[in-house]
Structure 1
C-alpha cells in the first residue's frame, strides 16, 4: 500500500536552459506564476511595475524595494533587467529548486544530483537523458506530467529582457 504525500499531482517540466538539465514545477500554479513574470517584464514604467499584482511571487520592483522618491518615479522607464534582484539572480527563484518540493524523494535520489550554488542555495540537477524513465515512473504513480520548455524557462527568468514591451 502506498501512502500519498500532499505534493503536486500535476507537474510541468522541461529543459532549463540556464542549468542544462530538467526542471519540474507544480502545473497548478506554474501558468499563473509565468503570467506574473510576463506582466512585470512587460511593464513600461516604474509605476506600472509597482502595480503588477503578484499572488505567487514577490514583486522585486514593488514599493517596498524601490521608492518613487529615490529616483524611481511612476513615469520613469522600467527595464526588468536592471532590477537588483533580477540582476543578482534572486528573482525569479531558480526553477531547478522546485524539483526538491514536487518530486518524490526516492526519485530525487535516483535521478537527480543535489547541487549547491554559492548564492542561491541548492537545486536538483536532473540529467536530460533521464527524461523518458523518470516521466514514465511519475506517470505510473498517477502523476499527470506535461513538457513545456518555454514555461519552465520563463519561470526561471531566462532571457527576461526579450519579454519587455
Structure 2
C-alpha cells in the first residue's frame, strides 16, 4: 500500500509578517496564473489568460471592451479593482486552515478575523523550526520559498510586468 506524502510550501509572508503554508501543487498552478496575468501587456492579453485555480479579476465578466477596456488598451494589474481592493489574489495565509492539521493549527497559530477578507491563520516566525519539524515527523515534505509565498499573496505584483 502506497501512502500519500503531501508536499507543502511555506514562507514568510510580508503583508502579514507571519508564516503561510499551502499545498505545493496548488501553489504552482496559482503562481503560473498570477504571473501570466501580471505580465499581460494589453487588456486583450489579460482577458485571454486562462484561469483554472483562481478567479479572473480582469476577465470579460468584470471589464468590457466597450467600457474603455479595449483589447489594445494597455493593461496594468495594479489598477484592476479586485487587486486594488485586496481581494485578488486571495490571502495566502488562509491556506494554512486547509493544509495544516488541526492540532498544529491550535498549537502554533492564531485565528485572525479580518473585516473584508475573512479569516486566516497567523503563524509566528518564531514557530518555524518546531512546526516544520513536526510536519516532517508526520511525513509531510516541507519546502520554504518566501518569493513564491509572497507572489501568491499578491505582494509586488506590479514589478512582474516590468
Fold shared by both chains (TM-score > 0.5): yes
Mapping 1:5-84, distance limit 5 Å:
9-84=6-81
Q: Equivalent of 1:116, from 113, 116, 123?
A: 113
Q: Which runs of 4+ in 1 moved over 3 A?
A: none
Q: Structure 1: give runs of 5+ residues left out of the alignment.
A: none
> Residue 132 of structure 1 corresponds to which residue in structure 2?
129
- Which structure 2 segments of 5+ residues have no match? none
Report the count of equivalent residues: 160
**Offset at residue 58 of structure 1 (A):** 1.0
What TM-score, normalized by structure 1, do the two folds share?
Answer: 0.94
1:150 matched to 2:147: yes
Deviation at 1:55, TM superposition (A): 1.3
**How far apart are the structure 2 equivalents of 1:152 and 1:45?**
26
Give the aligned partner of residue 95 of structure 2: 98
Query: What TM-score results when the alignment is normalised by the length of structure 2?
Result: 0.96
Alpha-carbon distance in 2 for matches of 1:57, 1:118: 22
Once the two structures are superposed, residues 102-132 of structure 1 have per-residue CA deviations (whole angstroms, 9 ceiling, x without a partner) of: 1000000000000011100000000001000
- Does the residue aligned with 1:43 lie in a helix, a strand or coil? coil
* Alignment partners' CA distance in 1, 2:25 and 2:153: 17
What SS does the aligned partner of 1:136 have?
helix
Query: CA RMSD, aligned part only?
Result: 1.3
TM-fit CA distance, 1:163: 0.6
